[in-house]
Amino acid sequence: MEIVLSAVRPDSTDGLTALRAYAGELAARWPEKAPEPSWSDQFLADDPLALVPPAGVFVVARQGERVVGCGGLRYEGADVPAGAGEIKRMWVDPAVRGQGLGRRLLAYLTELAREAGLRRLVLDTADDLLEARALYLREGFVETEPYNANPYAHHWFTRDLW
């Protein structure tokens, strides 16, 4: 069944479904750093509206009735370098991993960044998110110095768009 990408509000039903699944997976991976349920509640309340126009965009991947992935692009923010957009909340359901959805989401967000006139993308990720780090490197991102103080991040990446 085809997977369709669409921009939604992070606080919509599909947006919250994706963010809850993403937060739940992170909490399962990090039980000592992310005790449930308070951690997921805080994660969901943290910055969802930073991914709403004009500050950003949030994209959900649906396969039929199921939400199977998401990713966001933040255009503005105190810790986003000038001229850059920040990739946020990238997640792919384990049931569809390995089928290229992460690459599709990243390509879609990259195109939105180019359309917005951004010159580069930045992102951060945790040490144990090996799949994400491998994807970013394959897609032309290079590891760089930290650009924010995210307590869960161990790796920071950038990619020039022009």
In order of 42, 56, 77, the CA distances from 120 in angstroms are: 29, 15, 15
Which amino acid makes up residue 34? A
* Domain boundaries defined on the chain: 3-123
What CA–CA distance (Å, rounded) separates 107 from 115?
12
In this predicted structure, what is the pLDDT of residue 139? 96
Read out DSSP for 44-109?
A: HHHSGGGGSTTTEEEEEEEETTEEEEEEEEE---TTSPTTEEEEEEEEE-GGGTTSSHHHHHHHHH
What CA–CA distance (Å, rounded) separates 91 from 112?
18
In this predicted structure, what is the pLDDT of residue 1? 84
Decide: residue 117, CB within 10 A, 0-12 exposed, 13-18 middle, 19+ buried: exposed
Positions of the chain with pLDDT lower than 50, given as ranges = none
| pTM to 2 decimal places | 0.91
**Structure token digits, residue 46:** 């943290």
Q: Could you tell me which CATH number the domain at 3-123 has?
A: 3.40.630.30
**21 — phi, psi (to 5°)?**
-65, -45
In this predicted structure, what is the pLDDT of residue 118? 95
